[in-house]
């Protein structure tokens, strides 16, 4: 059974293994850095597999709490994809951010259909990536 939590209290780095790799990150943050970024995000939702106590999905948001927010990361581990977990993570995060004017994220064209089901619309964006900093080291 999958349960959803919106806090990192009691979460240990060992519960966060396996993320970023399938998603194609060449130099992924280790679980300790993953835990750190979760703790430092303004909002987080985690999907936990009750049987193994492992996190199998997560979403983060950073926000000024006045007008704007940004969703940098969303992932569901591959064996758990296609079961509605990603959709539930986004739904719960949007609920947290619902009072804000701007809720932004960047995604590949292949995911536009996934996000449009939440009423999100396509815009153009510009990003900068310091790949030598990808692991957070
Ligand atoms: C994108 C991702 C989070 C979706 O999670 P998921 O748990 O597999 O998605 P769900 O099972 O909740 O799917 C919900 C709906 O979205 C659709 N969907 C899921 N992934 C999709 C994709 N890549 N493209 C289009 N639609 C997609 C599903 O078909 C489903 O539709 P339905 O409700 O009509 O049946 C997951 O594929 C993932 O972690 N991918 C790798 C990391 C990534 O790309 N993250 C996004 C960064 S912007």
What's this model's pTM, rounded to 2 decimal places? 0.96
Q: For ligand 1, what atom is nearest to the CA of residue 111?
A: 24
Residue 55 — φ and ψ, nearest 5°? -75, 135
Q: Is 5 helix (H, G, I), strand (E, B) or coil?
A: strand
CA of 87 relative to ligand 1 center, distance in Å? 7
The string of pLDDT tens digits covering residues 39-83 is: 999 999 999 999 999 999 999 999 999 999 999 999 999 999 999
Judge contact between 16 and 33, C-beta under 8 A.
no
Pocket of ligand 1 (CB under 6 A): 23, 74-76, 81-87, 105, 107, 110-111, 113-114
How many helices, marked H, and strands, marked E, lie in the chain?
3, 6
Asked if residue 113 lies in contact with residue 90, where contact means CB atoms within 8 angstroms, the answer is no
Which residue minimizes the CA distance to atom 17 of ligand 1?
114
pLDDT tens-digit series, residues 75-86: 999 999 999 999
Answer whether 118's CB lies under 8 Å from 89's CB. Answer: no
Distance 36 CA to ligand 1 centre (A): 25
């Amino acid at each position: 059974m999958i349960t959803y939590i919106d806090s990192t209290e009691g979460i240990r780095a060992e519960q966060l293994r396996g993320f970023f790799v399938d998603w194609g990150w060449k130099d992924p943050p280790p679980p300790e850095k993953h835990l750190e970024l979760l703790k430092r995000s303004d909002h987080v939702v985690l999907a936990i597999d009750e049987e193994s106590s492992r996190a199998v999905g997560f979403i983060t948001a950073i926000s000024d709490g006045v007008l704007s927010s940004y969703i940098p990361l969303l992932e569901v581990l591959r064996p758990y994809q296609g079961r509605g977990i990603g959709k539930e993570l986004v739904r719960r995060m949007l609920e947290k951010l619902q009072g804000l004017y701007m809720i932004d994220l960047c995604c590949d064209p292949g995911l536009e259909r996934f996000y449009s089901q939440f009423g999100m619309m396509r815009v153009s964006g510009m990003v900068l990536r310091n790949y030598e900093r990808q692991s957070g080291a």
